[in-house]
Amino acid sequence: MKNSEFEIHPFNEVFYIESLLNKTRSILNDVESVNNFWKNGNHDCQNDDMILDLFQNIILNAGGISRFFWPPKNKNSGHYQIRGEKLREVYLVSDSNILKNRDMRNLIEHFDENLDDFLKEFVSGIVMPKYVGPIIYVDDSRIFFRAYFYDKQIFKMLNVDYEIKPIIAEIKRIHEILLLQLSNGGRFK
């Protein structure tokens, strides 16, 4: 089969639906866990690691979803590109979508290398290992390994910002489509 002949057959659609649902469910469960911290008043310094872990998982899974829509490009990826085009069409995902953020994907996919580069650029002592709180208490010269600014809904890892609200909104939108597809026999239509 040539790459240009690749297609997602109707009897295989359910596997893409289930694979994406695995990621969206995980993200939405993490969102619920984070929201429970705020609702229960448990957003003190004792829970910072758990809160930051949840946001890191959200970014990790959002990056995984992104790969379904925009697979890596290499000389043997023609059928992957066709799959990505088809899934973008099915889920109404444009190239301006928040999930296309290559920084988000690359940060997680190459975390070990990015950590090395981050630590090479910023010397220890300048880098703050973790922070959960409002951004108003942070000066502009502060560098973060991981942080969540709850007043701006921004997660920061290796000093890269991720606006959480639009990411979650897009995940919820895709999740609803996936649930509808699953209830319709595991079909895209």
| 5-15 tens-digit pLDDT | 678 888 899 99
Sort residue 185 into left (φ over 0), alpha (ψ -120 to 50) or beta. left
Tell me the pLDDT band of 126, cut-offs 50, 70 and 90.
confident
Please tell me which residue, 104 or 18, carries the higher pLDDT value.
18
Helix (H, G, I), strand (E, B) or coil at 51: helix
Q: Is the pLDDT of residue 180 over 70?
A: yes
Using DSSP's 3-state secondary structure scheme, residue 122 falls into: coil
Three-state DSSP class for 124? coil
The encoded tokens of residue 120 equal 């090479």
Average pLDDT of the residues in 18-36: 96
| Side-chain half-sphere CA neighbours of 74 within 13 A | 2
pTM > 0.75: yes
Q: 77 pLDDT exceeds 90?
A: no
**What tokens were used for 113?**
């290398």
Query: What number is the average pLDDT over the span 139-155?
Result: 88
Q: Which residue has the higher pLDDT, 2 or 176?
A: 176
1 pLDDT exceeds 50? no
Question: What is the pLDDT confidence band of residue 2, given thresholds at 50, 70 and 90?
Answer: very low
Q: Is residue 128 very low, low, confident or very high in pLDDT (cuts 50, 70, 90)? A: confident
Distance of CA 87 to the CA centre of its chain: 17
Note whether 109 and 102 are within 8 A (CB). Answer: no
Mean pLDDT of 143-165: 92
Mean predicted confidence (pLDDT) in 9-31: 96
